[in-house]
Amino acid sequence: MLSLWNDQEAQEYCARYEAHGQAIALRVYTSRLIGRCAELVLHGGGNTSVKTVVRDLLGREVEVLCVKGSGSDLAAVEPAGLPAVRLQPLRELQTLPELADEAMVSAVRGALMDSRAPNPSVEALLHAFLPHTFVDHTHANAILALTDQPDADAHLAAVFGDEVAVLPWIMPGFPLAKAVAEAFARHPKCRGIVLKKHGLFTFGDDARTSYERTIELVQRAERYITRRIGGRPAMLGGDPAPLPPAERRLALLRCLPVLRGALASEVATVCGPLWERVIAEARTGDEIASFTAHSAAPALCAAGPITPDHVIRTKGQYLFLSRDEAMDAARCRSQVANFVAGYRRYFEAHASVLAGGRMLRPLPNVVVVQGLGLIALQPTRAAARIAADIGEHTLRVKAAAHALDRYEALTDAELAAMEYWPLELAKLGAQKSPDLQGQVALVTGAAGAIGCGIVEALLENGACVLATDVDAERLQVVQKKFARHGGNLVSAIADLTVPAEVERLFAECVLAFGGVDCVVPNAGIAHVSRLETMDAARFARVLEVNTTGTMLVLQQAARVLREQGTGGSIVVQASKNVFAPGAGFGAYSASKAAALQLARVAALELAPIGVRVNAINADAVFGDDEVPSQLWEEVGPDRMRARGLDASGLREYYRERSLLKTTVLPRHIGEAVVFFARQRTPTTGAVLPIDGGIAEAFPR
């Protein structure tokens, strides 16, 4: 652990945030230094503050505490993420013998200089009660390895002597704020305060002093641990050896769909039972895989978290599975059921009264597989990544604590009080889940106009999407177009006429998200030629892409969907030409008719495993300048010549041809896919026209 303070960077921050004053500028700077170090804080953990002076509406100077606000991440905090609270009203609260959480939150919020600001940290009073200008709070891994021990006091004394004050575990809020203030009053020369099984507070009269005290104390803890255990923890060193990397990949491909299926929940709705699914994020690096192969791993995974702040992200316990259990659906579901039963017992014994009888989702958030690694499973990819990051650090800290002496977590009663603490649960928010949250979709032909519209609709309804196409350049345009969706969209290049590439495509989807729930065979090419002059090779190529490619995608989709065991949706992109072909369009019409027949056969074959297979017949979808229709780039010139029209005239012709006199947009096709993916109706084997109404193409 090294200090990252840089005088030039500090000056740049002072210049950038000059309007906010030097104290705020340097508070932002050192907060970000702390937030960017995963060994200190993770995903919104920790908090920082600075005491400074601002002017109120009457121009009077007011002493304020600027403390990290709820929802802010230290790694990217801005001045607005450090809401200013009048300091004097907070300090006056220290005289109270006790203060309920609701009253504390109300008092702190009532002291805000700006009522629109985010809620200050639940530890705002702790920062206020300390006299220092700057205060830093971290959940440093090395400190936790020392304090998560039955004899933590002895280890802390050996490292710090009397340079730090030490407190037992105390719930955050008013009691902790009072205890920290009293500890400093007893040890006014201390360089920091350690809270067992929680973290570290440091402080100073300037930003650099407070920050570098954190670094120094953590560095001393790291060196002590290294000396005591002789280097890297044995559990992370490859003895016993985990699976080799290539075998880990193969094992992941087998177990991820099984795990996703086992952790999906069937819920009753007015439209019938539906599945609530999860997204998987796997971590299988050498050290983590080594941990999972060790004989101590099951017991350490069953122990509580390294700091209770993590419980809302990962739960207290991780589910540990052998590789055989992780790859066998029945055995995996049995172990998940055992975990759920154990969580219910924990809830009923320690948290039922706290939570008013309302239990959180009882399924595991982190699964550890012997010799393979850890897999976080959450309703969103962002949440899964957060849980996986925390899980990785947790296993490393537990390995160090195990090597040092014996890992000891909070009791179940203490953990439950934190897990069901309303102020902790508030960090998760209460946003309404989008309809396709937890679903994974795979869309072929994603670089074309229709494919792009499908990808857009799926993403905006909460799905994770693997978008694939054979055209790398066009696919990159789509990837950039939806960059705002972050990790919910990944792309892959593949030729769907090659069986090995289709298999690889589904493997990439499984490794990225854990499996697949909605598959959209959309890729297609066209060739304009009358039958009497048709080139046999060109005809065969159209069938190869549009029909054989669809068959290969259906084949791989069926395999993964069967492994998951939670049903799913397949939506084949057919065409208006299936029912109303046009002259000179024989290759395309025949290939799409064959694809529709494959969809109908798939509907018959996959119904027993709950998979619904439907088709969409689209017509005259031109796209836009950014993502144009590749099909119309192929057939448009011929259609314009035949009708004596230019590009805009051709579009107007097709709009007027429809019964509804409307333009069919790519997003319309996407909304149809979303309709089928929602599974609100018991529909399979259907053909849904999205063509504005073409009478001769009515399905029959």
**Residues noted as catalytic:** 588
Give the pair of three-digit tokens for residue 478: 């789509």
Pairwise CA distance, residues 627 & 452, whole Å: 7
On whether the CB atoms of residues 41 and 143 are closer than 8 A, the answer is no
- CA distances in angstroms from 390 to 35, 368, 448, 464, listed in the order given: 14, 13, 39, 22
Count of beta carbons in the 10 Å neighbourhood of residue 624: 11
**Cβ contacts of 171 within 8 Å, gap of 6 or more:** 417, 418, 421
Assess contact for 235 and 209: CB atoms under 8 A: no
**Cβ of 467: how many Cβ atoms within 10 Å?**
26
Closest C-alpha to 577, from 617, 614, 607: 617
Instruction: Tokens 């809302």: give the residue.
Output: 312
Do the Cβ atoms of 27 and 118 come closer than 8 Å?
no
Task: Say if residues 221 and 41 touch (Cβ distance below 8 Å).
Answer: no
SS3 labels along 573-623 = ECCHHHCCCCCCEHHHHHHHHHHHHHHHHHHHHHHHHCEEEEEEEECCCCE
Q: In 3D, which of 557, 559, 575 has the Cα closest to residue 518? A: 557
- The b/e string for 168-200 (b: 16+ C-beta within 10 A; e otherwise) is ebbbbbbebbbbbbebbeeeeebbbbbbbbbbb
> Cα dihedral angle (634, 639, 645, 648), rounded to 10 degrees?
-50
Phi and psi at 602, nearest 5°, equal: -60, -35
Residue located via tokens 């002291």: 111
Helix axes 472-481, 449-460, angle to 10 degrees: 30
